Copies of this chain bind each other. A is one copy, B any other.
């Protein structure tokens, strides 16, 4: 990210690409920022990239994947000059309605640890299909101050 987000009076769109992230599976960015709007692409629980190795989830459990997914979202927010405080909306995609209560418990503990006084954002949770082995995906829309 450059310090400013405009050039010659024009607002520019900047790709956000944390160096730790695995390469996206197609021509898209893990995050983009334009003016005060920052969009985080759907993140899953992949561990930091290891060269020559396929993307690997943090573990098979919902807990491992949820915490890694939060870390991946946070890295993109920070690389784009934002924080959890700027997030307006999180979309949580789970694969099993039976995971809702456990995800909420992990979610609440995580945001308490992050020191957020208030509820961080609006949220929608729905149950969809995800690639085999993945239990959660999260994307986020942030508006910077």
Contacts and interface: CB of A to CB of B under 8 A. Distances in A.
Contact of A34 (B34, B88, B124): B88
A63 B125 CA distance: 22
Given A32-B88, A97-B132, A26 B104 contact: yes
Contacts of A29: 118-119, 121-122
Interface string A113-145: 000101111111111111110000101010101
Contacts of A104: 25-26
A77 to B, nearest CB: 12
A138 to B, nearest CB: 9
Interface string A21-60: 0001111111110111101111000000000000000000
Contacts of A12: 145
A11 interface: yes
B25 A145 contact: no
B31 A122 contact: yes
Nearest to A41: B122
A123 B26 contact: yes
Contacts of A121: 28-29, 32, 39
A75 interface: no
22 contacts: A10-B145, A11-B36, A26-B107, A26-B123, A27-B112, A27-B116, A27-B120, A28-B90, A28-B121, A29-B118, A29-B119, A30-B122, A34-B143, A35-B143, A37-B88, A42-B124, A42-B125, A97-B129, A97-B131, A126-B128, A126-B137, A127-B128
